[in-house]
């Protein structure tokens, strides 16, 4: 329940977001508050942990780092609108990888991560499949994975030279997913993600 009684028709900035001192998890979609669902299911958590471990082991002693929710990713409209009052989109991806560590600060990430993974919530699949998809594409996220825990599959999108996401693969069962931002040097084995 939204204990602050915020006006959901108002447009808010990241500066406003920082003042909300309660336990309600929210995201900002171009200034519009979107409440997040309660704690994710145990399957969602297991998938998140498995992916974090698989990526994390590969990233030891490398420049890129992996982060997981809850962690704020702020998407400024442009490089001149990075102050808290001018940032209107703040999302909390399930997992994200950043290779330009100048984007990381004590509050999360400012700017587009290189790779984002969202694990679909059955209660609100549109948010990951459409709303976040469009934001990530618009802001130049290089690679976007959508993980479906119920069907146990992963769709992988890569940003093309025109700034549009292209579906480069649909993976399931015993497939190994080549991670495009690492030129395929890392392959994620789905048998190690969807562990029975």
Domains and CATH numbers, the chain: 39-192 (3.90.1570.10)
pLDDT recorded at residue 116: 98
pLDDT at 3: 54
The yes-or-no verdict on residue 151 having pLDDT over 80 is yes
Alpha helices in the chain (DSSP H): 14-17, 42-59, 125-126, 132-138
Rounded to an integer, what distance in angstroms lies between the CA atom of residue 196 and that of residue 22?
Answer: 36
Cis peptide bond prior to 155, omega within 30° of 0: no
**Which has more confidence, 88 or 123?**
88
Is residue 2 over pLDDT 60? no
Q: What is the pLDDT of residues 104-120, one digit of tens each?
A: 999 999 999 999 999 99
For the residues 170-176, what does the mean pLDDT come to?
A: 97
Strand order in the sheet with 153-159: 65-68, 95-98, 115-119, 143-148, 153-159, 165-172
Whether residue 158 has pLDDT greater than 80? yes
Let me know: does 116 contact 95? Beta carbons within 8 Å. Answer: yes
- Cβ contacts of 62 within 8 Å, gap of 6 or more: none
| Mean local confidence (pLDDT), 55-62 | 96
The mean per-residue pLDDT over the stretch 64-78 comes to 95
Please write the tens of the pLDDT for every residue from 7-30: 878 999 999 999 998 888 899 999
């Amino acid at each position: 329940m939204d204990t602050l009684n915020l006006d959901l028709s108002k447009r808010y900035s990241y500066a406003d977001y920082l003042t909300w001192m309660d336990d309600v998890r929210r995201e900002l979609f171009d200034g519009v508050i979107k409440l997040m669902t309660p704690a994710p299911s145990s399957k969602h958590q297991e998938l998140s942990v498995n992916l974090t471990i698989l990526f994390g082991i590969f990233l030891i002693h490398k420049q890129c780092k992996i982060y997981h929710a809850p962690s704020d990713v702020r998407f400024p409209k442009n490089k001149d609108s990075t102050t808290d009052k001018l940032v209107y989109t703040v999302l909390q991806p399930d997992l994200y990888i950043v290779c330009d560590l100048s984007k990381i600060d004590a509050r999360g990430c400012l700017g587009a991560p290189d790779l984002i993974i969202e694990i679909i919530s059955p209660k609100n699949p549109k948010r990951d499949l459409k709303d976040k998809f469009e934001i990530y594409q618009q802001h130049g996220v290089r690679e976007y994975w959508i993980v479906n825990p119920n069907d146990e599959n992963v769709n992988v999108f890569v940003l093309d030279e025109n700034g549009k996401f292209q579906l480069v693969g649909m993976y399931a069962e015993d497939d190994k997913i080549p991670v495009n931002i690492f030129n395929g040097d890392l392959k994620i084995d789905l048998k190690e993600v969807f562990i029975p």
